[in-house]
Amino acid sequence: MITLSGIIGSGKSSLTGILAKELGTKAFFEPVEDNPVLPLFYKGNEIAAQKRAAGDEEATNPYAYLLQTYFLNRRFKMIKEAMQDDNNILDRSIYEDELFMKMNTDLGNATQVEYRIYKSLLNNMMEELPYAAKKKSPDLMITIKVSYETMISRINKRGREYELVKNDPSLVSYYHRLLGYYDEWMKSYQISPLLVIDGDRYDFVGSPTDRIQVLEMVERKLQTLGKLSVERTTQMLARHQQLLKQ
């Protein structure tokens, strides 16, 4: 099993689809469009910021805890389903979930009590995961690391109103802070092998050459981990070279 991670707009879903097609496996995508809480959360951030500016230093986002428990429930369900069979790929996983709740707590959008309850729930879920599925952890975590500029460019391109900085200027500081939390998360992640892809350097969606380079990074990593045979890797690399000549 492969899991993808990365900030908003890093290209997780796109790379998940590319990898699933390349490796002949099933892709699991986290639903976003049908999320009833996400737009409320972004609006709640704006409301909390306005209240703090007006002098209410203890103002929180009333939807922060709700959003994170909503995501946690969805991700737990998705990873259990993905772990029932071999060779599946998830565009988001439960393993990076806590960083969002921690950041929202540090920002004052959630309370320390909410954070402790959330962590207790997450820990209970993680203890149950090996019993609910075939695996305790993914075989490989792939993180797509991007700059603020790349992230904003991709957010603007897909055009979700509640993610756009032009609609909510407070998102500028929120996104910058989130990038920092992802940097810390990458340094501390130890649940499985981790492969970091430079999303600024490699345009795996728009450039066939970059896409092949990224695929080869992943395939060589899987071979090193003993998850992909030398023969299969060699066949894939040869096919890539043929594609580049076309």
Q: Which residues belong to the annotated binding site for substrate?
A: 30, 42, 68, 92, 97, 163
Is 91 part of the annotated catalytic residue set?
A: yes
From the candidates 34, 56, 85, 91, give the one annotated as an active-site residue.
91
Residue 144, SS3 per DSSP: strand
Residue 199, SS3 per DSSP: coil
Q: Do 230 and 220 meet the contact criterion of CB atoms below 8 Å apart?
A: no
Cα–Cα distance for residue pair 142/215, rounded to 1 Å: 11
CB atoms within 10 A of CB 1: 24
* Sign of the four-CA dihedral 33, 160, 1, 206: positive
Cα–Cα distance for residue pair 174/167, rounded to 1 Å: 14
CB atoms within 10 A of CB 128: 12
Q: Do 205 and 14 meet the contact criterion of CB atoms below 8 Å apart?
A: yes
Show the tokens assigned to 136: 């305790």
Catalytic residue annotation: 91
